[in-house]
Amino acid sequence: MVNYGKYIKINRYLQKKSISELCDGICTPSTLSKIENNKSNINPKIINQILERLSNINIDILESNTNRLKPVTELFMQRLMLNLDRSDLMAKIEEEQSNYLHSEYILFFYIAKLFSNFDLYHINNKDIDEEALDLISEVIEFGDFNELYFYNLLKIIRYKNTNNRLRDFKKIIDGDKHGWLSYFYCDDLFHNGNINEAYMATQKCYELACENCNINLMYGCLLLLGLCSLELSNSNESVKYFKKLENLAPFMKYDINFVINYNLGATMLEKKNIEKAKYYLEALEANKYNYSLSSFFVVHKLGYLYTELKEYEKANYYINWINEFVSKQDSKISNLLKKISDSLTIKLKDPNYLCNKKYQEDIEFIFQNSQSIFSYGFQKFYLADLEEVYLIQRRYKELYYIYRHI
């Protein structure tokens, strides 16, 4: 649904019209407030009268412009987040200036003008469109997260004093959400097999993390760059990135060697590269794991590994650990943990486990519920298992749907 309320509110402020002035003879001030806050059940005729008074347009024109411009707008924002070249898109956006100014993306248009150049962090070396900046500053409070983020980021970039920039960044932005969104996008590319794209995008994300002095994001990017390098058979590059990870150790509470072994092992395990997974994960066996959620993720990977290898003693040890952990959890998480434990037990003991009805049901349950309880990454870990189950069940249409939407 098009956010016509945002459009009306921004234009009213830019035209210096009060609520009573704009709604005079059309509706009550309270009705206009509801319209600006995008409340439903407002008579479309009233909205059209407001739009005509403001901009000589109607709902149909606003919706048509917004829907038509949406693909280019979203693509520009994706490239902006990753600091990728967007000059070709900017040319299209400028051609559509009139339509952008009569769409939901009016604020986006001015943000795009500010960030039209290629390198996000050299923007302070070129002339800023001060007119666009002044206009945005008047109505930025009505912007969405993207618009608010990049407006504040521009102010930070223009500071000459690095300490001030970092302090103000922490004050204005509650965590580097866009940095992490970029990282998750890179992670998706990696897990979908687009290794070259993941590598290039992660390099940009790493630059963003360094600029914002986001140590945790730097760690994530370096780890992903190391994984990409291994997949691309570039061992020298991977060593370089893992060495940089070690250099971050003084700033982090993590055991870097543990982090590297766990992440490499879990990644190889997800890809069913069992021998490589064992090489990394067996280094974690010497640790003692208390009954905590963070320990569970490590124990789960070890249990999964030794189930795949049919090393019964070790597999049973970790499955029993999970069972003990289940008893200490509330019903929501314990149900999922029990399914995980049961699926590993069946896989360990039943040579024909793929045809086991309970195993099939457990895997489907794990896949459907693990994202909401644990994470998207945990859900994707079970994608290959679900694929095996659905192929056995000949549920090709559902499998196709999952691959389209995950």
Q: Are 343 and 365 in contact (CB under 8 A)?
A: no
Residue ranges covered by each domain of the chain: 4-81+88-115+126-155
Residues 6 or more apart whose Cβ sits within 8 Å of residue 325: 291, 296, 299, 337
| Buried-exposed string 100-120: b where 16+ CB fall within 10 A, e elsewhere | bbbbbbbbbbbbbbbbbeeeb
Which residues have CB under 8 Å from 41's CB, separation 6+? Answer: none
Q: Is 75 exposed, middle or buried (0-12, 13-18, 19+ CB in 10 A)?
A: middle
With CA atoms as reference, report the closest residue to 229 among 255, 198, 257, 205.
Answer: 198
**For the chain, what percent of residues have pLDDT higher than 70?**
87
* Residue 27 per-residue DSSP state: S
Residue 365 binned pLDDT confidence (cut-offs 50, 70, 90): very high
Average pLDDT for residues 168-194, to the nearest whole number? 68
User: Per the structure block, which two tokens stand in for 118?
Assistant: 């290629």
CA angle centred on 154, ends 151 and 159, rounded to 5°: 140
With contact defined as beta carbons under 8 Å apart, do 204 and 121 qualify?
A: no
Give long-range contacts, CB 8 A cutoff, 24+ apart: 70-76.
70/105, 72/96, 73/105, 73/108, 76/112
Residue 212 has pLDDT above 80, yes or no: no
Burial class, 151, CB count within 10 angstroms (exposed 0-12 / middle 13-18 / buried 19+)? buried
Helices marked H in 56-161 — which ranges? 59-82, 87-95, 97-100, 106-114, 130-139, 145-158
Distance between the two ends of the chain, CA-based, in angstroms? Answer: 24
**Tokens standing for 378?**
């945990």
Quickly state the pLDDT bin for 304 (edges 50, 70, 90). Answer: very high
The beta strand positions in 186-250, using DSSP E, are none
Contact present, 232 and 196 (Cβ < 8 Å): yes
Three-state secondary-structure class, residue 348: helix
Q: 325: closest CA among 340, 343, 304, 308?
A: 340
Q: pLDDT per residue over 90-141, tens digit each?
A: 999 999 999 999 999 999 998 898 888 656 655 555 567 777 877 888 888 7
Q: Measuring CA to CA, which residue among 38, 41, 5, 39 is closest to residue 22? A: 5
- pLDDT per residue over 63-76, tens digit each? 999 999 999 999 99
| Average pLDDT estimate for 82-89 | 81
Q: What count of other Cβ atoms lies within 10 Å of the Cβ of residue 396? A: 10
Give the per-residue pLDDT at 116.
80
Whether residue 85 is predicted with pLDDT greater than 60 in this model: the reply is: yes
Ramachandran quadrant class, 292 (left: phi over 0; alpha: psi -120 to 50; beta: rest): beta
Surface-to-core class of residue 243, CB atoms within 10 Å of its CB (0-12 exposed, 13-18 middle, 19+ buried): exposed
Q: How far apart are CA 186 and CA 221, in angstroms?
A: 9
In angstroms, the Cα distances linking 210 to 7, 205, 218, 366 are 36, 9, 7, 36
Q: pLDDT, tens digit, for every residue of 312-337?
A: 999 999 999 999 988 887 777 888 99
Q: What does DSSP assign to residue 333?
A: H
d(CA 279, CA 8): 60
> For all residues of the chain together, what is the average pLDDT?
83
Q: Which is more confident, 214 or 158?
A: 214
Q: Which residue from 27, 70, 149, 114 is spatially nearest to 8, judged by alpha carbons?
A: 27
How many C-beta atoms lie closer than 10 Å to residue 378's C-beta? 18
Q: Is the pLDDT of residue 162 over 50?
A: no
Q: Give the model's confidence band at 174: pLDDT under 50 very low, under 70 low, under 90 confident, else very high.
A: very low
The identity of residue 312, as a single letter, is Y
Residue 360 has pLDDT above 90, yes or no: yes
Q: Are 42 and 49 in contact (CB under 8 A)?
A: no
pLDDT tens for 244-294 read: 877 776 666 667 778 778 888 888 888 888 998 998 898 888 777 888 877
